[in-house]
Chain A
Amino acid sequence: MKVELRGIHKYFGKNHANDDINLTIPSGTIQGILGENGAGKSTLMKILSGYFHADQGEILLDGKPVKIASPAAALQAGVGMLHQDPLDFPPMRIIDNFLLRTSGDFFPNRKHAAQDINLLMKEFGFSLDPESYVDSLTVGERQQLEIMRLLFLGARVFILDEPTTGISAAQKAKLFETLKKFPEQAITAIFVSHKLEDVEKLCDRVAVLRQGKLVGQMEREQGKPFDNKKLVKMMFGKEAPLAPRQAYSQEGSVLRLNDVSVEDARLKIRNVNFEARAGEVIGLAGMEGSGQGVFLRACAGLIRTVGGTVQVKEKDLTGKSYHVYKNNGVEFLPAARLEEGLVPGLSLTEHFQLAEKAEGLFIKQDVGVKLAQERIAAFNIKGTPVSAVESLSGGNQQRALLSLLRTPLSLVLIEHPTRGLDIESVIYIWSKLKERCKQGSAILFMSSDLDEILQYSDRILVFFNGKVSQPLDAEKTSVAKLGEMIGGRGWQEEPTA
């Protein structure tokens, strides 16, 4: 099925998430969509699959304009989406998952469905037991189930959103094998990813999005790989001219990691050795979910390490809780401001009262209000002491979060310090953070904005699939180099997926 997107625009408030996207995908091709986090890939795919409505533009399938009002309508038109997290019902059997989404008779025909499932499995070489429960399957097998279900429901265009995250190498090979069978049946696959190597292995054509715009397309020449350098350049744009860097690096270790290993459900980070000095800013680069988030939380005691030791100012805090870290001058600022950082429903004053050390049992209101007034002025927050935090704008919430940091601090750990903020706030927040460096705090932060990482870090750690690079000197590296590395290229030894 041929897919044409014409002049697609989508706004979220002031944010222009899709800016005049024109893309034609011939029938029976595997189209890669590349781009950074927040480039607009997911928005575009959600428009095509009926989750969002475009503010402008039209979609043509096989040359006919179509209105896609809902995911169900998309599927009826032949467009199916394979989500990053499978949309299935884990406590139910495979066959029931199938029957659930088919409209039809009051009494489901289990025998018939089982035959269909077996037929599809034969065709694609899957082997799943229709009577087994979904929660006993691996992520890869659940993908297979979802692919079969979409085929069963008549999908002719497949959208795959980051499908290689969280599955094994063997399952990835199987997935690619399956996808490569699609063109024979004139099924079109759209493969959304930030992994260059996957796109390279699989796709016939690539389109690159950046900041909501389609910035380039490339077609595979017969037998030749894509030009990687060009793709990276398209993804991240040109290097921005950098303002002079300020370094406040001082003597003295603030954080020392010896052979630290951390795990979560998806990733294993093994044997990291690293030392941060006072006043230093360390940027953690990597695509979302490459391990930098886990790493940052492990440095705060929010995730327990599974091996090695963590020392803060030469004091061993391995295995201690975040509150022990906090008492030793470590603070963590989460990216989800209203979900994790601030307490909606409480005022700014109440936040300062919570964050500061309590003196006595009873709250001294006047002291709290005075403190709030001081901080509001010092951090240029647009709000009053009685303002509820949820009534503040994003930039002001971030300033409020920063203003809650206690003094003195050894180490500040920040997730996405400036995500979603206007440039004025970005500059202000970093000036405040650099003040902390001058006072001797080290800062570790993660960001998906490579320019931000290059601009404000002294050293950079790159993460790819749980692997951590040696610290890179920020002055001697470039956006292009970082872009390649976070896509899994240019490592001294090839990182194992």
Chain B
Amino acid sequence: MKNTRISNFGFQILAVVLALVVTSLILIAAGANPLDAYKNIYAGSFGSFEKLSDVLVAWIPLLITVAGLLVTFSAGLWNIGVEGQIIMGGIATTWIVRLLQDTTTPPALTIALAILAGMIGGALWAALAGALKTFGGVNEIFGGLGLNFVATAATIWLIFGPWKRPGVASIAGTEAFNESVWLPTMGDTRLSLWALGLAIVSIMIVYFLLQGTYIGLRLKAVGKNPKAAYLLGVPTWQYSMMAFMLCGAFAGLAGAMQVMAVYHRLIGSISSGYGFLGLLVAMLVNYQVIWSVPVALFFAALNIGGIQLPIILKLDSSITGILQGTLVLFVLMMEGVRQRFMKRAGEKQ
């Protein structure tokens, strides 16, 4: 038991090293010094308090999204549609704010209702993917992918159509909300402690849901063997639907945070790819909720740290995406290698 844990860890370290090697080779091919690049990424993420607060700003939606994805992953579902669910959360939130901000509704209530609407919007969008799978036989990967496109198109249409800024409509988004309904941020930073708190609460809820409740156990059973779960008395399709809607609610919350705390308007790319990045993190932590906290932080740091690469090293910031992607690929690959290795060792005994 102890041995497997050590070998497990060894294989994961090896995966990280391999990912760094591949990324370094690409950097060298691009004519940059890898060490310089890594140094800059570090300086750009943890180098100062402002940088660190930016990392946390990126960490919030990522962590909330991962929390939701851990639910669908546990239920054996590939919720690729999470990206669209974040967008729908953002749209629903914007809608409520636009509806209420100029009325006599107290701002706090407006904020609360808007966030709630975001969660409902995300959950309903996820329910659509779930219904397509459960009742229409459409694999959730394809259904989700299609719905992502629809959600993106809906944002563009709203920004350039019904919700366009007076004067010139622009992809930069709708008109900013009244400052009274912004989630308060810390000092000069964009970091909202409210959002940070909600992110931490989200991951804690999922942790307890999956570790200690019957709902979590049944979700896992459905994910690992739906036929047996059904014979053991778990209403399988209802649980699949529930997993989708829970994930959608978290994704919607992430979208709501982007709208309420970061941009204060609906922008064209409100999800900023956090859905897909969340999928990477969820795959990487392999159902272990606790690990998603540091891994999501690391990924957020890479995202923020990469921003200054173009200015300093004339490198495109997408280089951090390469590092994130190769990291996931190598970790998954090493997991396969490890299993083969263990099997062979088992046969030898």
Give me the interface of A with B, judged by CB distance under 8 Å.
Answer: 322-323, 326, 332, 334, 339-346, 350-351, 353-355, 358, 360-363, 404
Residues 205 to 260 of chain B near chain A (Cβ within 8 Å): 212-215, 217-218, 220-221, 224-225, 227-235
Q: Contacts of B217 on A, CB cut-off 8 Å?
A: 346, 350, 353-354, 363
Q: List 5 A-B contacts (CB under 8 A).
A: A322-B231, A340-B227, A350-B217, A350-B220, A354-B221
Q: Contacts of A404 on B, CB cut-off 8 Å?
A: 232
From DSSP, what is the main secondary structure of chain A's interface residues? Answer: mixed
Bound CA–CA A353/B233 (angstroms): 11
Could you tell me if B213 and A342 are in contact, using CB atoms closer than 8 angstroms? no
Bound CA–CA A354/B217 (angstroms): 7
B347 to A: closest C-beta gap in Å: 13
Bound CA–CA A363/B228 (angstroms): 20
**A341: which of B212, B214, B231 is its contact (CB, 8 Å)?**
B231
**Minimum CB distance partner of B216 in chain A:** A363
Could you tell me if B213 and A361 are in contact, using CB atoms closer than 8 angstroms? yes
Bound CA–CA A355/B231 (angstroms): 9
B26 to A: closest C-beta gap in Å: 37
Instruction: Given A358-B214, A363-B213, decide whether A351 and B224 contact each other with a Cβ distance below 8 A.
Output: no
Bound CA–CA A354/B215 (angstroms): 10
**Minimum CB distance partner of B236 in chain A:** A323
**Minimum CB distance partner of B218 in chain A:** A354
A401 to B: closest C-beta gap in Å: 10
Could you tell me if A339 and B227 are in contact, using CB atoms closer than 8 angstroms? yes
Instruction: Given A351-B232, A362-B213, A363-B212, decide whether A346 and B224 contact each other with a Cβ distance below 8 A.
Output: yes
Which of B213, B214, B228, B234 has the most C-beta atoms of chain A within 10 angstroms of its own C-beta? B228
Q: Contacts of A343 on B, CB cut-off 8 Å?
A: 220-221, 224-225, 228-229, 232
Q: Contacts of A358 on B, CB cut-off 8 Å?
A: 214
Could you tell me if B228 and A341 are in contact, using CB atoms closer than 8 angstroms? yes
Give me the interface of B with A, judged by CB distance under 8 Å.
Answer: 212-215, 217-218, 220-221, 224-225, 227-235
Could you tell me if A354 and B212 are in contact, using CB atoms closer than 8 angstroms? no
Instruction: Given A343-B224, A353-B217, decide whether A322 and B230 contact each other with a Cβ distance below 8 A.
Output: yes
Could you tell me if B214 and A355 are in contact, using CB atoms closer than 8 angstroms? no
Which of A322, A345, A346, A404 has the most C-beta atoms of chain B within 10 angstroms of its own C-beta? A346
A109 to B: closest C-beta gap in Å: 37
**Minimum CB distance partner of B227 in chain A:** A340
Q: Contacts of A344 on B, CB cut-off 8 Å?
A: 224-225
**B231: which of A332, A345, A346 is its contact (CB, 8 Å)?**
A332
Bound CA–CA A404/B231 (angstroms): 11
B4 to A: closest C-beta gap in Å: 13
Instruction: Given A346-B220, A353-B217, A355-B233, decide whether A362 and B228 contact each other with a Cβ distance below 8 A.
Output: no
Bound CA–CA A341/B231 (angstroms): 7
Q: Contacts of A323 on B, CB cut-off 8 Å?
A: 233, 235
Bound CA–CA A435/B109 (angstroms): 63
Which of B213, B218, B232 has the most C-beta atoms of chain A within 10 angstroms of its own C-beta? B232
B44 to A: closest C-beta gap in Å: 41
Bound CA–CA A339/B225 (angstroms): 7
Q: Contacts of A340 on B, CB cut-off 8 Å?
A: 225, 227-228, 231
**B214: which of A332, A346, A363 is its contact (CB, 8 Å)?**
A363
Bound CA–CA A201/B224 (angstroms): 48
Bound CA–CA A334/B232 (angstroms): 11
B73 to A: closest C-beta gap in Å: 13
**Minimum CB distance partner of A356 in chain B:** B233
Instruction: Given A322-B231, A354-B229, A354-B233, decide whether A346 and B221 contact each other with a Cβ distance below 8 A.
Output: yes
B269 to A: closest C-beta gap in Å: 38
Q: Contacts of A342 on B, CB cut-off 8 Å?
A: 225, 228
**Minimum CB distance partner of A360 in chain B:** B214
Bound CA–CA A332/B229 (angstroms): 13
8 further A-B contacts with Cβ under 8 Å, apart from A353-B214, A354-B229, A361-B214, are A322-B231, A342-B228, A353-B217, A354-B232, A354-B234, A362-B212, A363-B217, A404-B232
CB-CB nearest 6 A-B residue pairs: A358-B214, A343-B225, A345-B224, A340-B227, A354-B232, A343-B221
B349 to A: closest C-beta gap in Å: 14
Bound CA–CA A323/B235 (angstroms): 8
**Minimum CB distance partner of A342 in chain B:** B228
Q: Contacts of B228 on A, CB cut-off 8 Å?
A: 339-343
Q: Contacts of A322 on B, CB cut-off 8 Å?
A: 230-231
**Minimum CB distance partner of B222 in chain A:** A343
Bound CA–CA A362/B218 (angstroms): 12
A282 to B: closest C-beta gap in Å: 20
Q: Contacts of A351 on B, CB cut-off 8 Å?
A: 232
Q: Contacts of B214 on A, CB cut-off 8 Å?
A: 353, 358, 360-363
A179 to B: closest C-beta gap in Å: 39
Could you tell me if A355 and B232 are in contact, using CB atoms closer than 8 angstroms? yes
B75 to A: closest C-beta gap in Å: 13
B58 to A: closest C-beta gap in Å: 33
Q: Contacts of B221 on A, CB cut-off 8 Å?
A: 343, 346, 350, 354
Bound CA–CA A354/B229 (angstroms): 8
Bound CA–CA A52/B225 (angstroms): 30
Q: Contacts of A346 on B, CB cut-off 8 Å?
A: 217, 220-221, 224
Q: Contacts of B218 on A, CB cut-off 8 Å?
A: 354
Bound CA–CA A184/B224 (angstroms): 55
Q: Contacts of A360 on B, CB cut-off 8 Å?
A: 214
Bound CA–CA A41/B235 (angstroms): 40
Bound CA–CA A326/B213 (angstroms): 23
Bound CA–CA A355/B215 (angstroms): 13
Bound CA–CA A39/B221 (angstroms): 35
B216 to A: closest C-beta gap in Å: 8
Q: Contacts of B233 on A, CB cut-off 8 Å?
A: 323, 326, 354-355
**Minimum CB distance partner of B234 in chain A:** A354
Q: Contacts of A345 on B, CB cut-off 8 Å?
A: 220, 224-225
B132 to A: closest C-beta gap in Å: 22
A366 to B: closest C-beta gap in Å: 13
Q: Contacts of B232 on A, CB cut-off 8 Å?
A: 343, 351, 354-355, 404
A383 to B: closest C-beta gap in Å: 16
Bound CA–CA A451/B212 (angstroms): 47
Q: Contacts of B235 on A, CB cut-off 8 Å?
A: 323
Q: Contacts of B212 on A, CB cut-off 8 Å?
A: 362-363
**Minimum CB distance partner of A336 in chain B:** B227
**Minimum CB distance partner of B211 in chain A:** A363
Q: Contacts of A354 on B, CB cut-off 8 Å?
A: 217-218, 221, 229, 232-234
Bound CA–CA A360/B217 (angstroms): 13
Bound CA–CA A441/B231 (angstroms): 19
**Minimum CB distance partner of B225 in chain A:** A343
Bound CA–CA A334/B225 (angstroms): 14
**Minimum CB distance partner of A326 in chain B:** B233
Q: Contacts of B213 on A, CB cut-off 8 Å?
A: 361-363
Q: Contacts of B229 on A, CB cut-off 8 Å?
A: 343, 354
Could you tell me if A334 and B224 are in contact, using CB atoms closer than 8 angstroms? no
Bound CA–CA A385/B217 (angstroms): 16
A406 to B: closest C-beta gap in Å: 9
**Minimum CB distance partner of B230 in chain A:** A322
**Minimum CB distance partner of A361 in chain B:** B213
A321 to B: closest C-beta gap in Å: 9
**Minimum CB distance partner of A352 in chain B:** B232
A403 to B: closest C-beta gap in Å: 13
Bound CA–CA A322/B225 (angstroms): 17
